[in-house]
Amino acid sequence: MGTLTSINRKRSDDYCKSLVSISSPIDQSYGHISKKPRLSAFANPGRNRPYSIVSRLQLYPDSKPRFSREVHAPVPVRFSRFGPCSKVEGSASLRGNMGNCLGIQLPYEKVKNGAIRSLKFFWKDSELFGGEDKLNEVIQIDDAEDENRVDVSDDLSVEEVGVVDDLGRKRKNGYRAVAISAQGVEKDLRSVDSSVVTNVSNPDEKVDAVNQMMDAMLLDEEPNALCVPAHRKLYDFAKGRDGNIKRLDLEIEYNEKCRQRFQLMRSQKKGKQIRKDVVAESFLPLTEEEEALVARALSNSSRRKVLVSHENSSIDITGEKFQCLSPGAWLNDEVINLYLALLKEREEREPQKFLKCHFFNTFFYKKLISGSDGYDFQSVRRWTAERKLGYSILDCEKIFVPIHKEVHWCLAIINKRDKKFQYLDSFKGVDNQVMNALARYYVDEVKDKSGEDIDVSSWEEEFVTNLPEQTNGFDCGMFMIKYTDFYSRDIGLCFNQGNMPYFRRRTAKEILKLRAD
Amino acid sequence: MEKRSSSPNSKVDQSSSTGTHINLRIQNGQDNRVLSYRIKQDIPLDRIMLDFCRRLGLQYDSIRFVYDGRRLKDFTTPLDLNMDDGAVIDAWTEQSGGGAALFR
């Protein structure tokens, strides 16, 4: 007894801690039949500390919701509504001991039925017992508990333990265990128990017991309503957290996606920015000084002067040759070759900014096709000696070949990077001879310089048609060198005929300064 | 006038120059006509280039002499360019274009 109380005290502490505040006052006032399952549920976690929340939750009687529902609803209404149902229940109860005694007491039939039903529902769920025993057990324990409460009202926790014990064991051992456990609770309890058992034979007393029980049930209706949420609350609380977690998960997912998108956008922006910078650079307006410089160079007074002398390409540009850059004039080979030399210098100056290219001069193609059969590799074999160039032509991603056709300038590209031969004509012309000669040349060149045999039959021959078109009769040279300029920057040909006057001045400036930008 | 009428294989005055000689050819890009010269390695190339223009009746300023893809300067010598015996110099006339003939 002493140990029990100590345990119980401890338990009561735990109980107080673990229980929600609503439930404890209810227990003190009228926690009877209905409270039992709940108590067991609450008591267990207190006792079995190592149990996880999940396992404790599992210990909750499944019948709880149903039980509560039963109590919630006004009994008479339900009874009238589900008459047949109650009849069935009544018949079932008639089979049992309780049924007999209850059948005698007519005034309490309603309440009895309600109570039995609720209890029945409770026991139906635990399928360990036979239907008759269930009723017996429950009511007996309820009685015992009831009386116990009256007797030992000072220690609530004791009775709770007892009840819990009862329930737990009963479930396992069945009816007999009830008596044992009831005895085990307390000595007082035993006497009550026995009295209850005797009561079973005595209808009147039984009625009292039932009455009490019924009262408790009726009274418990309210507490139950408040009590049920105790575990439901936990459940709801957990559920609410589920929602929170779900929401957080969604938020995380959303934010992650946002981050990825922004990162992508940033990188794209960066790439675009670089591209934009390069494009902007290709359209950088001339300063006033530069404009004046160009205007002076294009004036008649400069005709006889040598304006610039390029050391590396050995090209001297006189005012007369320079005139070709004035609006409406045809570009000549000197200006083109010097500009191409400047492009190469530009690339060597800033190799990270431009593609590694080789720019043949305007005579190369003429020389290449000067042979008797329209192809003479030997005559140009030494043109690309690494010792002379300072770099290997085979390392170049693009090889630009200006094509001069009597009165027209075109551009051919050996595009090693994309494995294709390209032909750009500002009039969208097509020349298969150029393609064939260049394909043949590149094979011979690779064979001559590296000893390797390459197969260019799979290389694409592209006659670029998606290009800025010439709409006059004098700008083809300008188009040609701008195709070269833009492709060596590895940007699209984002210019048109309207840009040509500017490009002429820009090219003039670049030649005068001997520096292409 | 005498020299121009002579054969393309005419030699430019060897008497004044000393040292090892080298055979060079100049090919006209327009008609593939070739003139052969034998000059000393330290003689500036403008000597034979001027002769070439004189013989072919070309204006020296308008001709671009190219050796192995490089423009030749007036005072470059075969020694400077490390020219081999029998090397060919290309003589190109001005190339110009605007596409007028193709533009309607």
What's residue A201's pLDDT? 47
What's the complex ipTM? 0.83
- The closest CB to that of B97, out of A361, A366, A404, belongs to A404
The answer to which of A80-84, A380-384, A395-399, A411-415 has the lowest mean pLDDT is A80-84
pLDDT, tens digit (0-9, with 9 covering 90-100), for B41-54: 999 999 999 999 99
What's residue B34's pLDDT? 92
- The closest CB to that of A332, out of B90, B96, B101, belongs to B96
Q: How confident is the model at residue A394 (pLDDT cuts 50, 70, 90)?
A: very high
Q: Which residue of B has its CA nearest to A371?
A: B32
Burial A350-374 (b: 16+ CB within 10 A, else e): eeeebebbbbbbbbbbbbbbbeeee
Interface test with B, best of A333, A425, A481 (most B CBs within 10 A): A333
- In A174-333, beta strands by DSSP E: 306-310, 315-318, 331-332
- The closest CB to that of A314, out of B71, B94, B101, belongs to B71
DSSP strand pairing (B21-28 vs B87-92) = parallel
pLDDT, tens digit (0-9, with 9 covering 90-100), for A430-446: 999 999 999 999 999 99
- Considering only residues A371 and A393, tell me which one the structure prediction assigns the higher pLDDT: A393
Is residue A401 a contact partner of residue A413, using CB atoms and an 8 Å limit?
yes
CB contact under 8 A, B97 and A366: no
Match 């008497």 to its residue by tokens. Answer: B15
In angstroms, what CA-CA distances link A84 with A72, A90, A91, A163?
20, 10, 10, 33
Would you list which residues of chain B are within 8 Å, Cβ to Cβ, of chain A? Answer: 29, 32, 64, 66, 68-73, 76, 88, 90, 92, 94-103
Name chain A contacts of B46, Cβ cutoff 8 Å. none
Q: How confident is the model at residue A75 (pLDDT cuts 50, 70, 90)?
A: low
For A237, other C-beta atoms within 10 Å of its C-beta total: 10
CA distance B68 to chain A (A): 5
pTM of the model: 0.57
Residues of A with catalytic annotation? 408, 425, 476
Residue ranges and CATH numbers for the domains of chain B are 18-94 (3.10.20.90)
Match 């009544």 to its residue by tokens. Answer: A90
Question: Coil, strand, or helix at residue A344?
Answer: helix
CA dist A441 and A434 (Å) reads 10
- The closest CB to that of A470, out of B90, B96, B99, belongs to B99
What's residue A336's pLDDT? 95
Q: Answer whether residue A186 shows pLDDT above 60.
A: no
Q: How confident is the model at residue A183 (pLDDT cuts 50, 70, 90)?
A: very low
CA dist A486 and A503 (Å) reads 12
Q: What count of residues does chain A have?
A: 517
- Considering only residues A424 and A75, tell me which one the structure prediction assigns the higher pLDDT: A424
CB contact under 8 A, B72 and A314: yes
Among A319, A401, A326, smallest CA distance to A359 is for A401
Query: Nearest 5 degrees, angle CA A212-CA A218-CA A221?
Result: 135
CA distance A425 to chain B (A): 10
Name chain A contacts of B66, Cβ cutoff 8 Å. 361, 363
DSSP secondary structure string, A456-510?
Answer: -TTSEEEEE-SSPPP-SSS-HHHHHHHHHHHHHTT------GGGHHHHHHHHHHH
The answer to which of A31-45, A256-270, A438-452 has the lowest mean pLDDT is A31-45
The answer to which of A217-231, A462-476, B81-95 has the lowest mean pLDDT is A217-231
In angstroms, what CA-CA distances link A246 with A240, A242, A254, A256, A341?
10, 6, 12, 15, 65
Both tokens of A208, joined, read 């009292």
Phi-psi region of B27 (alpha: psi -120 to 50; beta: other; left: phi over 0): beta
Q: How many contacts (CB atoms, under 8 Å) link A and B?
A: 100
CB contact under 8 A, A332 and B69: no
CA distance B2 to chain A (A): 30
Share of chain A above pLDDT 90, in %: 40
What's residue B44's pLDDT? 92
Both tokens of A314, joined, read 């050995």
CA distance B41 to chain A (A): 19
Question: Coil, strand, or helix at residue B57?
Answer: coil
CB contact under 8 A, A409 and B99: yes
- The closest CB to that of B98, out of A314, A360, A476, belongs to A476
pLDDT, tens digit (0-9, with 9 covering 90-100), for A350-370: 999 999 999 999 999 999 998
CB contact under 8 A, A472 and B70: no
Q: Which residue of A has its CA nearest to B84?
A: A382
The helix (run of H) or strand (run of E) holding residue B21 is strand B21-28
Name chain A contacts of B32, Cβ cutoff 8 Å. 370
Q: How far is CA A469 from the centre of its chain?
A: 47
Question: Coil, strand, or helix at residue B27?
Answer: strand
| Span A437-458, average pLDDT | 93
Q: Which amino acid is at A46?
A: G
Name chain B contacts of A390, Cβ cutoff 8 Å. none
Name chain B contacts of A426, Cβ cutoff 8 Å. 99
Check residue B33 and report its DSSP letter: -
CB contact under 8 A, B98 and A408: yes
CB contact under 8 A, B101 and A388: no
DSSP secondary structure string, A242-282?
Answer: HHHHHHHHHHHHHHHHHHHHHHHHHHHHHHHHHHHHHHHHH
Rounded to 10°, the helix A35-47/A23-30 angle is 130
Paired residues of A420 in beta bridges: A415, A460
CA distance B94 to chain A (A): 7
